[in-house]
Chains A and B, each alone.
Chain A
Amino acid sequence: MNKMPVYNLYMGCSVPANYPNYEAAMTKVAQAFGMDLVYMEGVACCGSPNLRAIDYFGWLVVNARTLAIAEKDGHDIVTPCNGCFGSLKDVLHHLKHDKEDMNRVNKELKASGLQLKGTIKVRHFVEALYSDIGISEIKKKVTKPLDGVGIAIHYGCHLLRPQDVTEFSPETLRELVEATGASVIDYPLWKQCCGATVLPVNEELAIRLARDKLKSMKEAGAVFATVVCPACGNQLDLQQLGLKDTYGEVYDIPVLLYPQILALAMGIDQEEVGLSMNRVAADPILEHLTG
């Protein structure tokens, strides 16, 4: 690496409030690779997808504002949340293709001295890790590789789709997981939704969707699962506790945020990545660290 890459870190609301372990693990990993994640100034929630559902224009302006702030210094936006990623990517995509809306939005931003041109890039943290650091550099820092234990990847809808908007390729995360020494478990429902978005209007349906995912993972032989989104994490990890009551089923699949797994494989202490905060006890993963 020639120089330390600098990023506009957009945290969104859910990671800092509900998953500080994700934030801590991401920060530790980024530090180790010399990625300079700078928390963005003057931003808040992206509102997705609820805001998009009821107030499309408000959603455009809120996210265009975030994009415009980052455009001022030009450093790519990086976010650990699929919801934020999807919102920012979608708004940027829409405004780049709709001049009329771009003008309407910029009219609103003018009062705060901002203007969006559409030159900024938005990336998920795992994309930055993959493209800017690279698998070979990552492997060099993996001192305690996992012993080939099976991990199921849940990518999350708003990372994968719509592909013409997100431009995300699933191989990215697959290679990142394999770089830790783990085996990636293929399972039939790998692309399917975790159900988080329907939680406010139909909880029963949301739980069924989480259960379908976990069942598919378990049947395929996954020992652990990994996610890169707080909402997906909530569904697959926290909902497992309730499945005992609703379905009488125990899955016992620890769900780790990807940077937690990488950090552990890099020899970073479990307390620094908040492993004890994961709902389904995640410490069994420690038994799979070698070296």
Chain B
Amino acid sequence: MSPLQTFNMGTEFRCPVQPYSRSNYGGVFFMAETEEKTGPPVTLIDPIDMSQLDPKFREEISSMPNGEELSACFACSTCTAACPIANQWNFKPHQLIRMILLGMRTEVLSSKEIWECLTCFECQERCPQKVRVTDIFFDCKNLAAEEGNVPENILVLAKSLIETGQLYEVMNDWEREDLNLEPEVPGLSTEEVKSILKGTRTGRLVGGDE
């Protein structure tokens, strides 16, 4: 397999920072293979627009919970191979990690991929470099949320949490009684959870004072 394929972003997406570009990487020529080829390049290359990158993004993520190992990524794509849904993503898991390292903050934080992550931890479990990939996607979602960028249905769940202290509430207590269970869940107390979340980001996102 050509090393270029590791970075082939597919047709849907033209990465503005194609890392294998000769012209953009200060005279760094990539792999003898590139030299031998004639004709059009395997991957179309757009110049980097440095002004679109946020060089602090990688530090931002590294300093978040479980983000320490971010820069250990050597782009082997094991995470992508492990991901059950990568085949329908425009940005594959290893590309998202690379995009973070390159500073593509806007693209990462506005991607649908971070929200579709199953949080199944298959990628993280297999990373040979111990990059906590799934945890890092959680960090990305938190940053996106801080900017108010959260899918509508997740906000609905957040609202449920702040208003009821629960994601699910007992509706059919007769079902419980039929099974000799207390109709109301013993020990359940939702006030504290509601009050905690009013003071954290959930409160800022969905209020909870109405």
Chain A residues near B (Cβ < 8 Å): 11, 13-14, 16-18, 20-21, 23-24, 27, 39-45, 47, 49-58, 61-62, 65, 94, 98, 101, 108, 112, 157-158, 160-163, 191-193, 195, 197-198, 200-202, 205, 209, 212, 272-274, 277
Please state if B153 and A201 are interface contacts (CB–CB under 8 Å).
yes
Please state if A65 and B196 are interface contacts (CB–CB under 8 Å).
yes
Please state if A201 and B161 are interface contacts (CB–CB under 8 Å).
no
Give the contacting residue for B167; candidates A20, A50, A272, A274; CB below 8 A: A50
Within 8 A of A (CB), among B175-195: 175-176, 178-181, 185-190, 192-193
Residues of A within 8 A of B169 (CB): 13, 17
Is B171 part of the binding interface, using a Cβ–Cβ cutoff of 8 Å?
A: yes
13 CB contacts below 8 A, A to B, read A17-B168, A41-B187, A44-B165, A53-B154, A56-B142, A57-B200, A94-B65, A161-B122, A197-B118, A198-B116, A201-B112, A272-B180, A274-B175
Residues of A within 8 A of B181 (CB): 16, 20, 23-24, 27
CA separation between A18 and B168, bound complex, in Å?
8
A11-B185 contact, Cβ under 8 Å, with A65-B192, A205-B85: yes
Please state if A163 and B125 are interface contacts (CB–CB under 8 Å).
yes
Please state if B154 and A45 are interface contacts (CB–CB under 8 Å).
no
CA separation between A14 and B193, bound complex, in Å?
16
Give the contacting residue for A272; candidates B132, B175, B179; CB below 8 A: B179
Count how many chain B residues have C-beta atoms less than 8 Å from C-beta atoms of the other chain.
Answer: 57
Residues of A within 8 A of B202 (CB): 51, 54-55, 58
CA separation between A17 and B168, bound complex, in Å?
6
Residues of B within 8 A of A49 (CB): 119, 138
A interface SS class: helix
Give the contacting residue for A202; candidates B116, B134, B138, B190; CB below 8 A: B116
A200-B151 contact, Cβ under 8 Å, with A16-B170, A17-B170, A39-B186: yes
Please state if A277 and B175 are interface contacts (CB–CB under 8 Å).
yes
Please state if A195 and B154 are interface contacts (CB–CB under 8 Å).
no
Chain B residues near A (Cβ < 8 Å): 65-66, 84-85, 88, 112, 115-116, 118-122, 124-125, 132, 134, 138-139, 141-142, 145, 150-151, 153-154, 156-158, 161, 165-171, 175-176, 178-181, 185-190, 192-193, 196-197, 200-202, 205
Please state if A53 and B138 are interface contacts (CB–CB under 8 Å).
yes
Closest 7 pairs between A and B when the two form their complex, measured CB to CB: A58-B200, A161-B121, A193-B120, A24-B179, A17-B168, A39-B186, A200-B153
Please state if A41 and B189 are interface contacts (CB–CB under 8 Å).
yes
Please state if A198 and B180 are interface contacts (CB–CB under 8 Å).
no
How close is B181's CB to chain A, nearest CB, in angstroms? 6
Please state if B141 and A193 are interface contacts (CB–CB under 8 Å).
no
Please state if B176 and A16 are interface contacts (CB–CB under 8 Å).
yes
Please state if A201 and B154 are interface contacts (CB–CB under 8 Å).
yes
How close is A174's CB to chain B, nearest CB, in angstroms? 19
CA separation between A99 and B112, bound complex, in Å?
33
Residues of B within 8 A of A209 (CB): 84-85, 118
CA separation between A237 and B40, bound complex, in Å?
52
Instruction: Give A90's nearest chain B residue, CB to CB.
Output: B135
CA separation between A77 and B86, bound complex, in Å?
35
Residues of A within 8 A of B66 (CB): 94
Known: A39-B186, A201-B153; 11 extra A-B contacts, CB below 8 A, are A21-B179, A41-B187, A44-B166, A44-B192, A44-B193, A51-B197, A94-B65, A157-B121, A200-B157, A201-B112, A201-B115
